[in-house]
Amino acid sequence: MSGKPNPYVTVFTPAYNRCGYLGLLYGSLKTQDFDDFEWVVVDDGSTDGTGEVMARFIAENQINIRYHYQQNSGKHAAVNKGVQLAQGELFFTVDSDDTIAPHALSAIVRQWQAVLELSDAVKYAGVCGLRVHADGRVIGGDVDYEILDVSPIDYRFKWGYKGDRAEVIRTSIMAQYPYPEIPGERFCADALTLNRIGRNYVLRYFKDGIYSCEYLVGGITDSSVQLRRDSPRGACLYYAEMAALPGLTKVQRLKAALNYWRFAVYDKQTSFKEHRRAIGSSWSYIMYPAAWVLKFVSS
């Protein structure tokens, strides 16, 4: 399907050895009640026939699809490539083993068009719906708002909402905040870029379960601790920046510092002095011995 030169929404999917699930996502995209979108898939080095599956979808010519293969570099690198390829005004990441509701894209566009009518629309990076389980339960628990205009930082740390959400960000803003790609590491927390965006922009959060997901064994969520151990410099960067976020309580900063040192002990390329400078806390280094003990116990 040729599609329009500049679709309104880019639905982006990073794929790695999930070819058995892509059909479910593809099916949910075909049933959308809004058709001005493209599906950009970046295959991060899959070896399970993902390319052949995508070729079949493209041959069906049902929706506008673009497929790109790259050597395995991690989800964050795939997102960076997806942003480069995206032609839509809005960038919506949907993982390869998830689906979206038939009204998802129309709800996103409706919320975004309402934002554009505001006098201060320039301060909005995008909109954000809810992720739900297959039975409709909200990931992280129900919310008590219909519409909430706050930064991603305040949403998590001031308002205290938990669980993954369905963020949809202006593509131009995503391009300004690429994920850091650290040589030899294949993981970077999704929230790192979202926190950076949250220093300068707000999102419109709306109460609508537009994104359905279940967390698979062996997926990124299931193995997040090990992924951080294997990519310690990225993990330390994430927690160092978290500890310096505006508006955090002392307890929240303490947790960020604890997690910094928890993964710093896995970093063989950065000195203790450099770590102390990076975390920017004169007292947090006292957690360093405890982090080594935790590493020993974990191993």
- Domain check: are 63 and 162 in the same one? yes
- Domain check: are 167 and 235 in the same one? no
- Domain check: are 187 and 94 in the same one? yes
Residue that is last in its domain, among 158, 191, 212: 212
- Domain check: are 86 and 178 in the same one? yes
Q: Which residues partner with 131 through β-bridges?
A: 211
- Domain check: are 70 and 171 in the same one? yes
Residue 34 in any domain: the answer is: yes
Please give the pLDDT value at position 273. Answer: 85
Residue 230 in any domain: the answer is: yes
How many contiguous H segments (helices) and E segments (strands) does the chain have? 12, 9
Quick check: 256 and 189 in contact, CB under 8 A?
no
Please give the pLDDT value at position 3. Answer: 45
Residue 4 and residue 137: Cα distance in Å, rounded? 35
Degrees to nearest 5, angle at CA 126 with 21 and 195: 85
Residue 12 and residue 174: Cα distance in Å, rounded? 12
Structural element, H or E, at residue 127:
strand 124-132
Higher pLDDT, 151 or 5: 151
Residue that is last in its domain, among 179, 212, 245: 212
Domain interval for residue 95: 9-212
Query: In sequence order, which residues have a C-beta less than 8 Å from that of residue 270 and are 6 or more positions away?
Result: 233, 236, 264, 278
Residue 120 and residue 204: Cα distance in Å, rounded? 12
Residue 130 in any domain: the answer is: yes
Query: Which structure tokens are listed for 59?
Result: 């041959």
Degrees to nearest 5, angle at CA 80 with 185 and 51: 90
Reported as a single tens digit per residue, the pLDDT across 106-130 is 999 999 999 999 999 999 999 999 9
- Domain check: are 283 and 247 in the same one? yes
pLDDT category, 159, cuts 50, 70, 90? very high
Residue 55 in any domain: the answer is: yes
Question: Mean pLDDT across the stretch 228-257?
Answer: 93
Q: What is the CATH number of the domain that holds 130?
A: 3.90.550.10
Residue 41 and residue 51: Cα distance in Å, rounded? 10
- Domain check: are 183 and 232 in the same one? no
Residue that is last in its domain, among 145, 180, 212: 212
The total of other beta-carbon atoms located within 10 Å of residue 60's CB is 11
Please give the pLDDT value at position 295. Answer: 64
Quick check: 208 and 145 in contact, CB under 8 A?
no
Question: Mean pLDDT across the stretch 186-198?
Answer: 96
pTM: 0.92
Reported as a single tens digit per residue, the pLDDT across 40-96 is 999 999 999 999 999 999 999 999 999 999 999 999 999 999 999 999 999 999 999
Cα of 45 vs its chain's centroid, Å: 19
Query: Which structure tokens are listed for 282?
Result: 């004169």
Question: Mean pLDDT across the stretch 149-175?
Answer: 97
Residue 245 in any domain: the answer is: yes
- Domain check: are 192 and 268 in the same one? no
Residue 219 in any domain: the answer is: no
- Domain check: are 63 and 204 in the same one? yes
Residue 3 in any domain: the answer is: no
Please give the pLDDT value at position 283. Answer: 61
- Domain check: are 136 and 190 in the same one? yes
Residue 31 and residue 129: Cα distance in Å, rounded? 19
Q: Which backbone phi and psi does 209 adopt, to 5 degrees? A: -80, 85
Per-residue exposure over 134-147, b if at least 16 CB sit within 10 Å of its own CB, e if not: eeeebbeeebeeee
- Domain check: are 200 and 228 in the same one? no
> Which among 177, 193, 293 has a CA at the least distance from the CA of 238?
193
Reported as a single tens digit per residue, the pLDDT across 1-34 is 444 568 999 999 999 999 999 999 999 999 999 9
Q: What is the DSSP letter of 200?
A: T
Domain tally, the chain: 2
- Domain check: are 89 and 111 in the same one? yes
Degrees to nearest 5, angle at CA 129 with 125 and 131: 130
